[in-house]
Amino acid sequence: MQAKGFVHCYPDNVDTDVIIPARYLNTPNAQELAAHCMEDIDPAFPQKVHRGDIMVAGWNFGCGSSREHAPLAIKTSGISCVIAKTFARIFYRNAINIGLAILECEEAANRIQPGDEVQIDFDSGTITNLTQQESYQAQPFPPFIQNIIQKGGLMNAIQSKEDNTHE
């Protein structure tokens, strides 16, 4: 699995209230949520994001509320992967569970500049910066989590497990 796109950069401690403000949580509709994604930190984001683009941020990305609407809004806006130094733990779980690719890589977060074109190989965890012609190595997921991602999210993973149990 690979991703390739241009980068949008954000600081440390990006919280779920700026990723998708609570005033829009009166709907679970992914398209409506994506239309307001990042609105309170980067109002132009919904207009400037292109399918396949990559988000890069600092420490503790996605802190705050457990709202799954946050990774859902990012994924639906077209972002193919979020790279951060660390993720807040509920956001981390939610991203895996809904199939939004995320990678923790401090070096990539330090080096990558806004607008850089970046390519990611998820199997190896290698992040290649095509603009700056350098690459960074992220930790690949443990097999347990890779299985959830390969099955297309948690619900598919538990369904295939239940099917196996019943056989």
- The span of 49-57, 83-91, 111-119, 132-140 binding other proteins (CB under 8 A) equals 83-91
Amino acid code (one letter) for 26: N
> What distance, in Å, lies between the first and last C-alpha atoms of the chain?
30
User: In the bound complex, what is the minimum distance in angstroms from residue 153's beta carbon to other proteins?
Assistant: 7
Q: Which of 71, 59, 79, 7 is nearest to 33 (CA)?
A: 71
Q: Judged by CB under 8 A, which of 2, 11, 22, 130 binds other proteins?
A: 22
- Nearest CA-CA partner of 57 in 8, 118, 130, 3: 8
Q: Looking at beta carbons only, is 79 or 118 nearer to other proteins?
A: 79
Identify which of 18, 74, 67 has the alpha carbon closest to the alpha carbon of residue 42.
18
The DSSP code sequence of 85-105 is: S-B-HHHHHHHHHHT--EEE-
Q: Which of residues 107-136 bind other proteins (CB under 8 A)?
A: none
Binding mask 44-63 for other proteins (x = CB under 8 A): ---------------xx--x
Given the complex with other proteins, which of 81 and 100 has the nearer CB atom? Answer: 100
Task: Give the 3-state secondary structure of residue 32.
Answer: helix
Binding residues for other proteins (CB under 8 A): 13, 15, 17-18, 21-23, 25-28, 40-41, 59-60, 63-69, 71-72, 86, 88-90, 93-94, 97-98, 142, 144, 153-156, 158-159, 162
